[in-house]
């Protein structure tokens, strides 16, 4: 039976199932955090760009005051937004996140995208988002030229300062990872990317296994989070695929549990998002059964190489900038 944690190259252990906090409503976040921790979640995935870190912090403060868990029992991830890639902005960015979350340190801090945008001061707009001018999104995105090496050097400094236990990247491919590994004094411990049966990314996972980089899959259930944004259609759901439904029926499980079990069975962590108490429990209850090798292969065969979270699509559609 699969263990419920992943060991990173430095020896840190990450719970394989976490709660993704993207699109968790501000008013709901404190309650959901408290419920998730009560249900057994110890891995929370946050980001400046989600716009709800103060509310997440209120939930964390509540559970830590109640002594339901100790801080060291939680794994909390957050991310450096695109507008803070210049080295002088990296430490202030994580310090703002820590204030919002009410924490002294993070367990993992990721570069959110390999995309550098013009700096936006906190007092002007926070979180800054993608658009250079949200009041006039047709004015587009303001990219700047900042080498990943410069941003990464500042990321290493926040590890040395004790602000985060480890660092990593999100939305990077093999070529960028290969380049990063050529100069990193502190190697990336984790890669977070979109992963689901329609985007299996087998070669990327193989590369990360060889380099001992942990992998977390966001949007592990596929299209669901993107339908309300107009970035997917309801019929795109992997949960309605006949092979997934057949496997779910044979195990007496939900289709979502089967897809999440497929994710952890590949050696990746998964961070499904939900605001529903019954789904919180369901998404965590995947460690008392296994999929057969044939079942794993049949789900992997659904791969369409289809990415929902693609800046090359949504930046032009929403912000009039091909990025």
Catalytic residues: 50
Strand ranges, E, within the chain: 5-7, 13-15, 19-20, 43-45, 75-80, 108-111, 167-170, 190-194, 214-218, 269-270
Task: Pull the structure tokens for residue 123.
Answer: 């007092």
Bridge partners, 167 (sequence order) = 109
Nearest-angstrom CA–CA distance, 269 and 10: 17
Answer for the pair 101, 70: CB distance below 8 angstroms, yes or no.
Answer: no
Instruction: Round to the nearest angstrom and report the end-to-end CA distance of the chain.
Output: 43
Strand ranges, E, within 27-147: 43-45, 75-80, 108-111
Phi then psi for residue 59, to 5 deg, are -65, -40
Phi then psi for residue 215, to 5 deg, are -130, 130
Nearest-angstrom CA–CA distance, 97 and 77: 10
Nearest-angstrom CA–CA distance, 124 and 164: 26
Q: Which residues touch 274 (CB under 8 Å, ≥6 apart)?
A: 19, 280, 283
Nearest-angstrom CA–CA distance, 1 and 265: 10
Nearest-angstrom CA–CA distance, 240 and 232: 14
Nearest-angstrom CA–CA distance, 220 and 218: 5
DSSP string, 225-243: GGTTTTSS-GGG-GGG-HH
Answer for the pair 270, 216: CB distance below 8 angstroms, yes or no.
Answer: yes
Nearest-angstrom CA–CA distance, 97 and 106: 9
Q: Are strands 75-80 and 167-170 parallel, antiparallel or unpaired?
A: unpaired
């Amino acid at each position: 039976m699969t263990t419920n944690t992943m060991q990173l190259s430095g020896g840190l252990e990450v719970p394989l199932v976490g709660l993704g906090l993207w699109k968790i409503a501000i008013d709901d976040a404190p309650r959901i955090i408290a419920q998730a921790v009560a249900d057994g979640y110890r891995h929370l995935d946050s980001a400046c760009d989600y716009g709800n870190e103060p509310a997440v912090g209120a939930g964390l403060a509540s559970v830590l005051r109640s002594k339901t868990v100790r801080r060291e029992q939680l794994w909390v991830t957050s991310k450096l937004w695109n507008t803070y890639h210049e080295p002088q902005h990296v430490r202030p960015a994580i310090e703002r996140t820590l204030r919002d979350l009410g924490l002294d340190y993070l367990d993992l801090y990721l570069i959110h995208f390999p995309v550098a945008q013009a700096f936006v001061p906190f007092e002007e707009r926070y979180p800054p988002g993608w658009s250079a001018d949200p009041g006039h999104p047709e004015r587009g995105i303001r990219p700047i030229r900042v080498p990943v090496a410069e941003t990464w050097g500042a990321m290493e400094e926040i590890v040395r300062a004790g602000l985060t236990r480890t660092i990593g990247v999100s939305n990077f491919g093999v070529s960028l990872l290969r380049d990063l590994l050529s100069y990193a004094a502190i190697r990336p411990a984790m890669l977070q990317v979109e992963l689901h049966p329609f985007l299996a990314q087998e070669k990327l996972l193989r590369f990360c296994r060889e380099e001992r980089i942990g992998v977390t899959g966001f949007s592990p259930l596929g299209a669901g989070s993107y339908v309300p944004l107009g970035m997917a259609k309801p019929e795109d759901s992997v949960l309605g695929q006949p092979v997934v439904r057949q496997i779910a029926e044979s195990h007496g499980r939900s289709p979502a549990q089967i897809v999440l079990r497929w994710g952890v069975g590949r050696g990746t962590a998964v961070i499904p998002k939900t605001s529903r108490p019954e789904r919180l429990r369901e998404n965590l209850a995947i460690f008392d059964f296994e999929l057969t090798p044939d079942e794993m292969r049949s789900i992997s065969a659904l791969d369409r190489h289809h990415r929902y979270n693609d800046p090359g699509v949504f930046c032009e559609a929403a912000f009039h900038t091909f990025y």
